[in-house]
Amino acid sequence: MSQDLSKPRTAIAVRQTWIDQARWCAIVLVVIGHAVGLLRSTSDLAVVVSNFVYMFHIPVLVLLAGWGARRTKADGTTLAKIFWQLLLPFVVFQLIAFLFNFLFEDDSPSWSFTSQTFGLWFLVALAAWRLLAPWFRGLKFAIPITILLALLAGLSPDIGGYLSLSRILVFLPIFLAGPWVIDKISMWRHDLRYKLVGAVVLLAGGVVTLLTRRDFWRTPFLGNAGYEALDVDPVEGMMWRLLVLTIGTAMAAAFMLVLPGKPGAPSPIGGWVAKAGRKTMYPYLLHLPILTLVGATAVSETFAPSFQTALFVIAAFVFCTVTVAKSITKLAAPLIEPRRALVRW
């Protein structure tokens, strides 16, 4: 059936288009941040780029994930989706990480699935957020309660990578705020004043990372350590955590405000980016073993540090473009979308 172009697009359809575009741009940020992280010891430019990206790339992903899970219910259907979409790919890529670490880093597998290898924590955290969100939505002061939980989580000296518990609690308020924040950004994106404010916020973050360079304290933005591990007292730790949540959310919103694109993605580039945004699990998961391979070789020592950093940024962009291509997604589908692959077979 042909589409009736005389009918206006609904607000939800337009909003979903830019959100898909934002998802792909967010994954590009993730891959860039992880890629240049390999060069932090040799390149000041890599340090600046990495610090800037880490200020807000996790909140961007969490806000978008929260919006995507706004209608999630505590039922069997949700549990089935969590298993197929998140937990099973986590197990598969945890096994792949064990193999790559053994082959290229001579690291004997721990065979532990309670502590995630590099980059896989987000799948476990996302599964937990989807389970928790329906219960917290029924509370009157859900956001303040989860902020309090995020602050209290840092008091535990043992909290960390175990089941991503630290990050689950730290970023839970942002996940719950996702539907509200994304809907606001959907309206603000059409107002030049808000776009200018977003540009100023991002510029301010960039200036801070440029001026501080290696003195920039990146660790609190990761959300994976308690106050004792950060070597701060509880009061100072809570102040840092509030500051990190505020800065991260503000810069994430600013990033989505300044992204180019018109409603409905009428241009070929806009349409491609929106389509790529529906396949972000592919560049996200596939880049993890690739970075292990790159880190174990002398590729990162081939050129001058600054030039190498620029090459890694370009390579990350190209990688995120290639891995959403139909040929790649078809090959990798059994690993990343096992349910869809089984249905196809």
Q: Is the residue at 276 inside a domain? A: yes
Question: Which pLDDT value is given to residue 266?
Answer: 76
What band does 221 get if pLDDT is binned at 50, 70 and 90?
very high
Q: Is the residue at 243 inside a domain? A: yes
Which residues form the domain of 236?
11-344
Joined tokens for residue 127: 């599964």
Phi, psi angles (nearest 5°) of residue 328: -70, -45
Instruction: List, as own/partner pairs, every contact residues 312-316 make where C-beta atoms lie below 8 angstroms and the sequence separation is at least 24, other chains included.
Output: 312/32, 312/35, 312/36, 312/38, 312/39, 312/46, 313/32, 313/35, 313/36, 313/49, 315/35, 316/28, 316/31, 316/32, 316/34, 316/35, 316/36, 316/287
* Average pLDDT value for residue range 142-146: 96
Q: Which residues contact 59 (CB under 8 A, 6 or more apart)?
A: 171, 174, 245, 248, 249, 251, 252
Q: Which of 101, 106, 99, 124 is nearest to 114 (CA)?
A: 124
Q: What is the pLDDT of residues 186-204, one digit of tens each?
A: 999 989 999 999 999 999 9
Average pLDDT, the chain: 91
Q: What is the pLDDT of residues 252-271, one digit of tens each?
A: 999 999 998 777 767 889 89
Q: Is the residue at 6 inside a domain? A: no
Question: How far, in Å, CA of 21 to CA of 12, rounded?
Answer: 14
Q: Is the residue at 72 inside a domain? A: yes
Question: Which pLDDT value is given to residue 300?
Answer: 66
pLDDT at 134 over 90: yes
Counted residue by residue, the chain has a size of 345
Q: Is the residue at 5 inside a domain? A: no
Q: Is the residue at 94 inside a domain? A: yes
* Average pLDDT value for residue range 228-241: 96
Beta carbons of 266 and 17 less than 8 angstroms apart? no
Residues pairing with 115 in the sheet? 162
pLDDT at 5 over 50: no
Q: Is the residue at 173 inside a domain? A: yes
Q: Is the residue at 2 inside a domain? A: no
pLDDT at 244 over 90: yes
Torsion, Cα of 261, 267, 271, 272 (10° steps) = -100
Question: How far, in Å, CA of 218 to CA of 108, rounded?
Answer: 29
- The predicted model scores a pTM of 0.92
Instruction: Look at the chain and report how many structural domains it folds into.
Output: 1
